[in-house]
Amino acid sequence: MYTRRIFPIRGVLKWTRRYIFIFFLVATIPVVMFDVLRMKWLHVPWLPMSVLGIAVAFIIGFKNNASYDRLWEARKIWGGIVNTSRSWTIMVKDFITNDHAKKPATEKELKSIQRELVHRHIAWLTALRYQMRQDKPWEMHVKTNPSNREFRESHYTVHEDTYPIEVVIAPYLSEKERKEVLSKGNWASQLLGKQSKRLRELLQQGFIEDFRHMEMANILVELYTLQGKSERIKNFPYPRQFATLNYMFVWIFILLLPFGIMEGFEGIGKKIVVYMTENPAYFDITQKLQLFIGQHFVWFSIPFSALIAWVFHTMESIGENTENPFEGGPNDVPITDLSRGIEIDIRQLIDDKDIPEPYQWVNDIVM
Summarize pLDDT for 291-323 with one digit per residue, the tens.
777 778 889 999 999 999 999 999 998 888 888
Rounded Cα distance, 260 and 44, in Å: 5
pTM confidence score: 0.86
For residue 6, name the pLDDT band (cuts at 50, 70, 90).
very low
Summarize pLDDT for 241-266 with one digit per residue, the tens.
777 888 899 999 999 999 999 988 88
Residue 161 has pLDDT above 90, yes or no: no
For residue 280, name the pLDDT band (cuts at 50, 70, 90).
low
Rounded Cα distance, 196 and 116, in Å: 13
Residue 367: per-residue pLDDT: 67
Question: What is the share, in percent, of the chain residues with pLDDT greater than 90?
Answer: 57
Which of 126, 117, 77, 76 has the alpha carbon at shortest distance from 217?
Answer: 117
Residue 284: per-residue pLDDT: 62
Across the chain, mean pLDDT equals 88
Which of 340, 363, 328 has the alpha carbon at shortest distance from 158?
Answer: 328
Residue 285 has pLDDT above 70, yes or no: no
Summarize pLDDT for 219-241 with one digit per residue, the tens.
999 999 999 999 999 998 888 77
Query: Which bin fits 176, alpha (ψ -120 to 50), beta or left (φ > 0)?
Result: alpha
Residue 119 has pLDDT above 60, yes or no: yes
Contact present, 314 and 16 (Cβ < 8 Å) = yes
> What radius of gyration, in Å, describes the C-alpha atoms of the chain?
30
What string of DSSP letters covers 196-256?
HHHHHHHHHHTSS-HHHHHHHHHHHHHHHHHHHHHHHHHHSPSPHHHHHHHHHHHHHHHHH
Residue 346: per-residue pLDDT: 95
Question: How long a stretch of residues is the chain?
Answer: 367
Pure H helices in the chain: 9-31, 46-95, 107-133, 141-144, 146-155, 159-162, 165-169, 175-182, 187-205, 210-235, 240-277, 285-295, 301-322, 335-349
Residue 356 has pLDDT above 60, yes or no: yes
Residue 366 has pLDDT above 60, yes or no: yes
Please compute, for residue 119, the number of CA atoms within 13 A of its CA located in the half-sphere on the CB side.
20
Residue 165: per-residue pLDDT: 94
Residue 281: per-residue pLDDT: 55
